Amino acid sequence: MTSLALDGRGRRDPGRSPGSRRVAQALLRSSPLLPAVVLLVLFLAGPIVYSLYGSLTNASLTGPRAADPEFIGLQNYEQLFANPQFWKSVVLTLVFVIASALIGQNLLGMGLALLMKTAHGPVRAVVSTIVVVSWVLPEIVAAFALYAFFASDGTLNIMLGWLGIEGQAWLVVTPMLAVIVANVWRGTAFSMMVYSAALAEVPPEISEAAEIDGASGWQRFTRITLPMIRRSISTNLMLTTLQTLGVFTLIWVMTAGGPGVESSTLPVLAYQEAFKFAQVGYGTAIATVTLVLGGLFAIVYIKALKPEVD
Amino acid sequence: MTAVTPDVTRAPGDAPRPLRTGALASPRARNSKIASSLILLLIGVAFVIPLGWILLAAFDSAATVSVKLPTSVTLDNFTEIMNVDTTFRPLWNSFLLSMGTAVITVICSVLAAYPLSRYQMRWRKPFMYGILFGTCLPITAMMVPVYALFVAFGLLDSLWGTVLFLAATSLPMAIWMTKNFMDSIPISLEEAAWVDGASAMTALWRIVVPLMRPGIAVVFIFVFTQAWGNFFVPFVLLFSENSQPAAVAIFSFFGTYGTVSYGRLAAFSILYSVPVLFLYLLVQRLSGSSFAMAGAVKG
């Protein structure tokens, strides 16, 4: 970092200098990137590459296979794809993502954002604070709070009792429903904030003009507001999907993936296989599948955000 | 839904004041305003119940798993956990973990954001795409290979190893946010400094960093909060009790010691959550809007 003075006048330098000097200059200019790149390569790209490789071995947590795993090719994947439990987990993951993120968080978040626009100021302030607090809290605290809510002698059953309805052991009988509602509770604030910000940027004049022309409230919402904030919607759909795909703590605290594997989404299943059943190679294969799934979503998301990079 | 909003501020006989907002213009609009408020309140109640359990149980001498008014209000739950082993060491570990992660991440991302924001480089675009891709990865899905890698590096149960991993996972988002903040700082001031002979690094530390202090604070708090709340990463990578942060310690309250003491669990939850809530308020102040986090995340 001695001669960074080269950078001095360089920003819009058309660069007519000889090639080697340009390369040297480019390297020098990008040298501040180095610490970040080293960290990213070692601790982020490293595990991903290792994930691809490790899934091709029979590594285990203890015993001889822990120190010296053998290369076994695609056996883990063959075993994985032949395992009905894995497919069940894929379905559970999809149900979890679609029901809690795409439908639950997004619809409720949009609903809250719309209600906030018309509601009384103090109500708006109080409710938005409550919703945001449930999102800002550490995930494990939120998970405890929801565990207590859904537990057999928990709040939900007591409140149902007041209404004369017989409760049930929600975490055992309908674990997926419980974790889906929990994730909606936990994550809706994010969608609410994104949509509130988006709605605030829609100029009211257009909607008012349509109102004068006799458009109903619903028509104005679907024909004017929604198209105008469609970029926020697609961004938010992708972000909530990716966040929900990675949810572990909430499910682990509330149901631990159980009973049995009734609520084991892919991250939970990978953890169970690797650490409960000591099949690191097998768990790594599940991790790889999840990463690929996340990667595919990420590519769609990046396509949507392309203009911001350019 | 009858229109019942008695305007308590207006004395009878006063001349009607000019309407300030369009929302009060017609009875229909006023009705819809009341309806919105009521629905919003209902949703708010649904959201507040689980939170209420934590608050009430923490002060209840005989807390159970359900929301109820404390049998007798007490601070015993707090005093019982106020010792090094249960509370202070885990919180201190959380602090070390989050502070280390946030400091490393912020330094690396300020350095990295500078060339990305200021120069036209050939690999700038691919790099930004890579960063964006990195923000999307489900980190929890990666923990099994990360564990295996940490075994290979001999980094298991090392606080610093965990800090470096947490820093690496928060870097993509931090670089993205920092670059966006830096883009909004005009380059003309630096150009003046360059003319006076300052190097790029001098310009960065003397001019850009001071100007974007609020932005850096937002990134710092964002990373700190995420590390503070992270359960899964330390749960997998740290296992000796001496190095466990609060997120993992609280789980052992719940899991291992037979019957759960819900009162103490709730009290600990509060002690553990307060710093994050405070930091969130600070971010709001810094960015002047409650949508700071989401806005920053959106770029």
Q: What is d(CA A136, CA A189) in angstroms, rounded to the nearest whole number?
A: 9
Q: Do A245 and B118 touch (CB under 8 A)?
A: no
Chain A residues in contact with B262 (beta carbon < 8 A) = 148
B214, with CB counted inside 10 A (0-12, 13-18, 19+), is: middle
Chain B residues in contact with A153 (beta carbon < 8 A) = 64-66
Q: Do A32 and B114 touch (CB under 8 A)?
A: yes
CA dihedral A284, A286, A287, A293 (to 10 degrees): 150
The pLDDT, as a whole number, for residue A64 is: 58
Residues 128-187 of B with CB under 8 A from A: 128-129, 132-134, 136-149, 151, 164-165, 167-169, 171-172, 175, 187
If you measure CA to CA, which chain A residue comes closest to B37?
A: A119
Of B33, B54, B175, the CB nearest to A118: B33
Amino acid found at B140:
T
Of A35, A66, A302, the CB nearest to B133: A302
**Within chain B, which residues score under 50 in pLDDT?**
1-24, 289-299
Angle at CA of residue A99, ends A93 and A103, nearest 5°: 135
Mutation for B interface: A43, A129, A152, A192, most B CBs within 10 A: A43
The pLDDT, as a whole number, for residue B271 is: 92
CA nearest neighbour of B34 among B77, B63, B5: B5
Q: Distance (Å) from the C-alpha of residue A221 to the closest C-alpha of chain B?
A: 15
Tokens of B135: 């923000």
Q: What is d(CA A17, CA A40) in angstroms, rounded to the nearest whole number?
A: 32
Contacts for B175 with CB less than 8 Å, ≥ 6 apart: A36, B108, B109, B112, B113, B116, B131
Q: Distance (Å) from the C-alpha of residue B96 to the closest C-alpha of chain A?
A: 17
pLDDT digits (tens, 9 = 90+) for B132-156: 888 888 888 888 888 888 888 888 8
Q: Can you say whether the dihedral through the CA atoms of B221, B297, B94, B246 is positive or negative? A: positive
Task: Say if CB A29 and CB A5 are below 8 A apart.
Answer: no
**Within chain A, which residues score under 70 in pLDDT?**
1-18, 61-67, 305-310
pLDDT digits (tens, 9 = 90+) for B266-298: 899 999 999 999 998 888 887 754 344 444 444
Tokens of A127: 């409710």
Chain A residues in contact with B294 (beta carbon < 8 A) = 190, 193-194, 197
Phi, psi (rounded to 5 degrees) for A57: -120, 170
Q: Do B111 and A134 touch (CB under 8 A)?
A: no
Q: What is d(CA B297, CA A210) in angstroms, rounded to the nearest whole number?
A: 33
Residues 71-100 of B with CB under 8 A from A: none
Chain B residues in contact with A247 (beta carbon < 8 A) = 140
The pLDDT, as a whole number, for residue B13 is: 37
* Residues making up chain A, counted from first to last: 310
Phi, psi (rounded to 5 degrees) for A26: -60, -40
Output the CA–CA distances (angstroms, integers) from residue B266 to A145, A157, B81, B192, B227, in the order listed: 9, 20, 11, 56, 21
Report the 10 Å Cβ neighbour count for A220: 18
The pLDDT, as a whole number, for residue B207 is: 87
Q: Distance (Å) from the C-alpha of residue A5 to the closest C-alpha of chain B?
A: 5
Q: Do A295 and B133 touch (CB under 8 A)?
A: yes
Chain B residues in contact with A238 (beta carbon < 8 A) = 136
Q: What is d(CA A222, CA A82) in angstroms, rounded to the nearest whole number?
A: 45
Chain A residues in contact with B50 (beta carbon < 8 A) = 134, 142, 145-146, 148-149, 155, 185
Taking one residue from A and the other from B, the number of pairs with CB-CB distance under 8 angstroms is 313
Q: Distance (Å) from the C-alpha of residue B19 to the closest C-alpha of chain A?
A: 15
Interface pTM, i.e. ipTM? 0.82
Q: Which residue has the tokens 């999102």?
A: A135
Q: Do B277 and A137 touch (CB under 8 A)?
A: yes
Phi, psi (rounded to 5 degrees) for B49: -60, -50
Q: What is d(CA B50, CA A249) in angstroms, rounded to the nearest whole number?
A: 17
Angle at CA of residue B231, ends B84 and B257, nearest 5°: 55
Q: Do B67 and A137 touch (CB under 8 A)?
A: no
Task: Say if CB B61 and CB B263 are below 8 A apart.
Answer: yes
A16, with CB counted inside 10 A (0-12, 13-18, 19+), is: exposed
**Across chain B, which distance is largest between two alpha carbons, in Å?**
83
Mutation for B interface: A1, A2, A7, A218, most B CBs within 10 A: A7
CA nearest neighbour of B262 among A147, A131, A133, A139: A147
CATH of domain A79-309: 1.10.3720.10
Give the mean pLDDT of chain A. Answer: 84
Mutation for B interface: A136, A147, A269, most B CBs within 10 A: A136
Q: What is d(CA B168, CA B71) in angstroms, rounded to the nearest whole number?
A: 47
Q: Residue A71, SS3?
A: strand
The pLDDT, as a whole number, for residue A310 is: 61
Chain A residues in contact with B108 (beta carbon < 8 A) = 35-36, 39
CA nearest neighbour of B97 among B107, B105, B109: B105
Of A36, A157, A266, the CB nearest to B112: A36
